[in-house]
Structure 1
Amino acid sequence: MLDHLRWTVLKWIMSRHADPYQGVRRDSECDNLWFGHIPDTLHDGQVICCSYWIEERTHTVRCNLFATLSTPV
């Protein structure tokens, strides 16, 4: 199961290149900080989540934090 989660997170991170806004929401207090759970990572009532910064000018996505949170998120 752990390998499946690692691959799922890795594929999700790489998908941010195509569309960094898909399936996430912007933090209301910080410009350009986005947050969301990573699909298909539900395990034992928890999901893996990520927050990251989007720099539109340079087309850069920089991961800020990964966390495992209890559902619902």
Structure 2
Amino acid sequence: MGGYPMDGRPGPMRSPVGSITSIISTNEPLGTDPEPSRKEHRQRAIEVRLRATSVHRRRRRNTSRRAGK
């Protein structure tokens, strides 16, 4: 499902994933996490969370403006 050296290689294909993986890898060394699959899941969850929050905030602002007017 995901070898350690292969995870960093497909960076250009999906840039956001690569950047986040590199940041997390610097903070937490690969040796600490025994299961790479769990790490991938965690990274995906963080990405989804960031995207969802940004979209949610935008929608909220738009709705509030419309309601005010």
Q: Does TM, normalized by the shorter one, top 0.5?
A: no
Q: Of Structure 1 and Structure 2, which has the larger fraction of its residues in helix?
A: 2
TM-score, normalised relative to structure 2: 0.26
Q: Of Structure 1 and Structure 2, which has the larger fraction of its residues in strand?
A: 1
TM-score, normalised relative to structure 1: 0.25
Question: Larger Cα Rg: Structure 1 or Structure 2?
Answer: 2
